[in-house]
Chain A
Amino acid sequence: MSERRVVMTGMGVVAPGDPGREAFWDLVSSGRTATRTISLFDPAPFRSRIGAECVFDPERAGLSYQEIRRTDRAGQFALAATREAVADAGIDPGVSPHRIGVSVGNGVGNAISMEQEYRVVSDNGRAWLVDHRYATPHLYSYVMSSSLATEVAWASGAEGPATVISTGCCAGIDAVGYGFDLIQEGSADVVLAGAADAPIYPITVACFDTLRASSTSNDDPERACRPFDRRRNGLVLGEGSAVFVLEEYEHAVQRNARIYCEVIAYAARANGYHMTGLKEDGREMGEAIIAAMAQAKLNPDDLDYVNAHGSGTRQNDRHETAAYKRSLGEYAYRLPISSIKSMVGHSLGAIGSIEIGASALAIDRNVVPPTANYTEADPECDLDYVPLTAREQPVDTVLSVGSGFGGFQSAIVLASIRDTARGAHRRRVAA
């Protein structure tokens, strides 16, 4: 059986700032940032008080009262993104629900609801033997992040394979990778694949405080996240969701679907030595990139753009820069590499999908989004990070990478299906 190809035919995004795919692209292609002082709770007692929040009203996003009641903020983002993606793709009613799968990435579950409900049943932390009589009937859907996959399935009518992929901050890439596998192996013809997370709440903010991993530029929140910049001082938490309609290529062509890009390779590797640490030499992320490039049968100079993990911590950005040099050689110096986390923050399990969204739009629109706030070069990070301003250029092939707690590293490669000279070159190499 010939290899089944997988293309993206629909996209929905709820990212920091205004909701919707176009608002998201408008933000990240303009170099503006959505990082602000946290408004979801009073951040005064915290070390880092900055977040990139979604300006999101679930009713305005079209969610029903019952959907709003039974879902956490993360689920609400996922529902809104799913509906936008399905409408965008216009999935043909002839597709059997049995052939539609669901794969949702998530890092910290329904964390806001778990924390809010904990406060109630424990009487604000007083009782260890928490009182079940005060629990919401939806609490079980909160404790299991799998409820996110259920919601996406119900919203899209899917009845094929469905699951949540929860590999920490790589989940947004791994979930798309899982959907890619489902289609490629023939378990589904269409997959709603994406991710959602809503971590901006006291317990998660306290966790990053304790790890001293989040930015303390509390006086200058709009410029707090500075990936690859010499003065970077940590990540800024974000939130949101991106959901895609992935589809088997022939299926998409037959129904004349608009195609954003093809998913041509996906690989994941683990570091195997530390839950949060990364070595300076960039080995593990380099390995994930090498594996994905080999699977895609690409040479480094086939890439037009790298959508970086670029969290803005000292450790990550150094590791990542080294990884590009290890895996892409000299070409790493000539390749535009940017981190949209400078603008939309780090939404943990969701960000991998949000970044895949940016990568697909970069291909779709032939624009490389910039790294905002990058003003001062760091000798340890000496590549082309596309400072401040987007670049209009042909974009046919994009690598997007992620790295997360638990020691996960993932890489995915997207390519245009345009028959450009660059695309033709890539296909010749692959043949």
Chain B
Amino acid sequence: MSELTMDSLKAIMLRCSGVEEGVDLGGDIAGQEFRDLGYDSLAVLEMTSQIQREYQLEIPDEAIEELNSPGDVLRYVNDRLTPAA
């Protein structure tokens, strides 16, 4: 599986949960908290469930609690997509 890019993450977020009025996903959002971007706990769960399906990895509960920003998600997913060998 190829790496999760910010563009593909944004596409997943838009597809799953749309975008809050007044929020611009076009800018640099890597370090912004999901909450401030208008994505609540359900939106984060919806996003992680999509990522689990598309990237075929399992994200445990404890990890989800630490995924507070798009940057966190990219780091978490791409660290685990790196071939183990």
A–B contact with Cβ pairs below 8 Å: the answer is yes
Interface of A toward B, CB cutoff 8 Å: 210-212, 274-277
C-alpha spacing A276/B61, complex, angstroms: 17
B41 touches A210 (CB 8 A): no
Are the CB atoms of B40 and A210 closer together than 8 Å? no
Interface membership of B64, Cβ < 8 A: yes
Q: Can you give 14 A-B contacts (C-beta < 8 A)?
A: A210-B45, A210-B46, A210-B49, A211-B42, A211-B45, A212-B45, A212-B61, A212-B64, A274-B40, A275-B42, A276-B41, A276-B42, A277-B40, A277-B41
Contact with A along B33-50 (1 / 0, CB 8 A): 000000011100110010
| Number of A-B pairs, beta carbon distance below 8 Å | 14
Q: Which residue in chain B gives the minimum CB-CB distance to A211?
A: B45
**B-side interface residues, number (CB < 8 Å):** 8
The 7 closest A-B pairs by CB, nearest first: A212-B61, A210-B49, A277-B41, A276-B42, A211-B45, A210-B45, A274-B40
Contacts of A277 in B (CB 8 A): 40-41
Q: How far is the CA of A397 from the CA of B35 in the complex (A)?
A: 42
Residue of B nearest to A315 (CB): B41
> A212 — which chain B residues lie within 8 A by C-beta?
45, 61, 64
Given contacts A210-B46, A211-B45, A212-B61, 11 further A-B contacts (CB under 8 A): A210-B45, A210-B49, A211-B42, A212-B45, A212-B64, A274-B40, A275-B42, A276-B41, A276-B42, A277-B40, A277-B41
* Closest chain B CB from A227 CB (angstroms): 18
CB neighbours of B42 from chain A (8 A): 211, 275-276
- Enumerate chain A residues within 8 angstroms of B45, measured Cβ to Cβ: 210-212
CB distance from A266 to the nearest CB of B (A): 30
CB B54 to nearest CB in A, in angstroms, measures 15
What string of 1s and 0s marks CB contacts (under 8 Å) between B56-74 and chain A? 0000010010000000000
User: Would you give the shortest CB distance from A236 to chain B, in whole angstroms?
Assistant: 16
- A413 vs chain B, min Cβ distance (A): 32
Complex interface residues of chain B between 1 and 45 (CB less than 8 A to chain A):
40-42, 45
Shortest Cβ gap from B48 to chain A (Å) = 9
Chain A min CB distance to B27 (Å): 26
Give Cα A277 to B35, complex, Å: 13
- Complex: chain B residue closest to A216, CB-CB: B61
> In the assembled complex, which residues on chain A have CB atoms less than 8 Å from the CB atom of B49?
210
How distant is A211 from chain B, measured CB to nearest CB, in Å? 6
CB of A352 to closest CB in B, whole Å: 23
Chain A residues positioned under 8 Å from B41 (CB to CB): 276-277
User: How far is A275 from B45 in the complex, measured between Cα atoms in Å?
Assistant: 14
B33 to chain A, nearest CB (A): 15
CA distance A274 to B39 in the complex (A): 12
Bound-state Cα–Cα, A212 to B42, Å: 10
What residue of chain B has the Cβ atom nearest to residue A209's Cβ? B49
Nearest CB of B to A152, in Å:
34
A277 to B42, CA, bound (A): 9
Instruction: State A211–B49 Cα separation when bound (angstroms).
Output: 9
Give CA–CA (A276, B45) in the complex, Å: 12
Closest partner residue, chain B, to A213 (CB atom): B45
Chain B residue contacts of A275, Cβ below 8 A: 42
Which residues of chain B come closer than 8 Å to A211, judged between CB atoms? Answer: 42, 45
**Closest-CB distance, A419 to chain B (whole angstroms):** 50
Docked Cα-Cα span, A274 to B61, in Å, equals: 21
Least CB distance from B50 to A in Å reads 11
